[in-house]
Amino acid sequence: MPAAGRGERLGPGAPKALRELGGVPILVHAVRVLARSRAVGTVVVVAPKDGVAEVRALLADAIGERESAALVVVPGGDTRQESVRAGLAALPADVDVVLVHDAARPLVPVDVVDAVARTVADGAEAVVPAVPLADTVKQVTPAQAPGLPEPVIATPDRATLRAVQTPQGFRRDVLDRVHAKAVEEGVDATDDAGLVERFGGRVVVVPGHEEAFKVTRPLDLVLAEAVLARRRSRDEY
Ligand SMILES: Nc1ccn([C@@H]2O[C@H](COP(=O)(O)OP(=O)(O)OP(=O)(O)O)[C@@H](O)[C@H]2O)c(=O)n1
Ligand SMILES: C[C@](O)(CO)[C@H](O)COP(=O)(O)O
C-alpha cells in the first residue's frame, strides 16, 4: 500500500495518509479494508521516509490483533512508482498475487478488493477496478502558462473510457518484471497497470465503486467525511 505521498494537493498539514477522516487517520481506514478481505494475508504499508516509526506505532494501536492480516511497514520513495517498488521488495517470498492499493482511497468497499483478487486468482495477469466517466472528456494541447485557453484536439468516445481506481491486482511475477523494466528504461507511469500495458501485458477492468474515489483535493475530504458519516449512521462501518 503506497502511503508515502505528501498530499500537496490537499493543502498544508501532515502527510495525507496521516490526516484524519472521521477522527481516524486515512491510512488506518485503508489498511482496515484490506485486512478485512479474506484474500489478503499480508499488508505492506509504504510510509513517508521520516514517518516509518510513527506509522508502525499508529497501526499497532489501531489495527493490533483485531484483523487477521500480517503488517509490514517500510520507507517509501520520491515517487509513487518508487514507493510501490519498495513495497514489492518487502513482500514475503511465498506471495503470488499482489494488490496495490493507494492509502489515499480509504473508503473502497471490501467487495471491490475481493473482486480484484478473485479475477487475478481466476487467471488474469493484471486487473484494475474502474468506473464510467460522468463528464465528457476533451484532449487538448496543454497551455504554456496557467489560465491561457487550450486548443481542443479531440473528444474521445466516452463510452470507451473508464476512470481507474485501486486496488489494482497482479500476478507477482508480472508486477516484479514490469517494475524492473521501468527502472531499466526510465519509464514512469501514473499507475501500475500502465506499466503492464507499456511492456506488452494484458490488463482487464472490473467494476470499481463510486466510494473508492481518491482523496486528492480538499473537496474530496469533505465528500469522504459525508460518505463515512452516512455509513456510520446506517451502522455499515
Ligand atoms: N512518493 C510517493 C507519492 C505517492 N505515494 C502514494 O501514492 C498514492 C497516490 O498518490 P496521490 O494521491 O497522488 O498522493 P500524493 O502524492 O500524496 O498527492 P500530491 O500529488 O497531492 O502530493 C497515495 O496513497 C500516496 O501516499 C507514495 O507512496 N509515495
Ligand atoms: C493509481 C491511481 O490511483 C489510479 O487512478 C492514480 O493514477 C494515482 O495518481 P496520483 O497522481 O499518484 O494520485
Distance CA 48, CA 140 (A): 34
Q: What is the pLDDT of residue 69?
A: 79
For 21, the domain range is 8-130+164-233
Residue 2 beta carbon below 6 angstroms from any ligand 1 atom: yes
User: Is the ipTM here above 0.90?
Assistant: yes
Residue 2 lies in a domain: no
Residue 18 lies in a domain: yes
Residue 141 lies in a domain: no
Q: What is the pLDDT of residue 38?
A: 93
Mutation pick for ligand 2 pocket among 190, 197, 217 (CB with most ligand atoms within 8 Å):
190
Q: What is the pLDDT of residue 66?
A: 54
* Closest ligand to Cα 9: 1
Q: What is the pLDDT of residue 61?
A: 83
Q: What's the total number of domains in the chain? A: 1
Ligand 2 atom closest to the CA of 105, numbered from 1: 3
> Can you name the residues that pair with 45 across neighbouring β-strands?
73
Distance CA 192, CA 201 (A): 12
Residue 81 beta carbon below 6 angstroms from any ligand 2 atom: no
Distant-in-sequence, close-in-space partners of 129: CB < 8 Å, separation ≥ 6:
112, 115, 116, 164, 165, 166, 167, 168, 205, 206, 207, 208, 209, 212
Identify the DSSP state of 148.
S
CB 86 within 8 A of CB 63: no
Residue 71 lies in a domain: yes
Ligand 1 centre and the CA of 235: distance in Å? Answer: 30
Residue 117 lies in a domain: yes
| Model confidence, pTM | 0.96
Residue 177 lies in a domain: yes
Residue 154 lies in a domain: no
Give the H or E element holding residue 74. strand 70-75
> Can you name the residues that pair with 154 across neighbouring β-strands?
139
Q: What is the pLDDT of residue 231?
A: 95
Residue 45 beta carbon below 6 angstroms from any ligand 1 atom: no
Q: What is the pLDDT of residue 67?
A: 61
Ligand 2 atom closest to the CA of 102, numbered from 1: 3
Here the CATH number for the domain that contains residue 179 is: 3.90.550.10
Residue 82 beta carbon below 6 angstroms from any ligand 2 atom: no
Residue 75 lies in a domain: yes
Encode the chain (237 residues) as per-residue pLDDT tens digits: 999 999 999 999 999 999 999 999 999 999 999 999 999 999 999 999 999 999 999 998 888 655 667 999 999 999 999 999 999 999 999 999 999 999 999 999 999 999 999 999 999 999 999 999 999 999 999 999 999 999 999 999 999 999 999 999 999 999 999 999 999 999 999 999 999 999 999 999 999 999 999 999 999 999 999 999 999 999 887
Identify the DSSP state of 2.
B
Looking up cell 469522504 gives 224
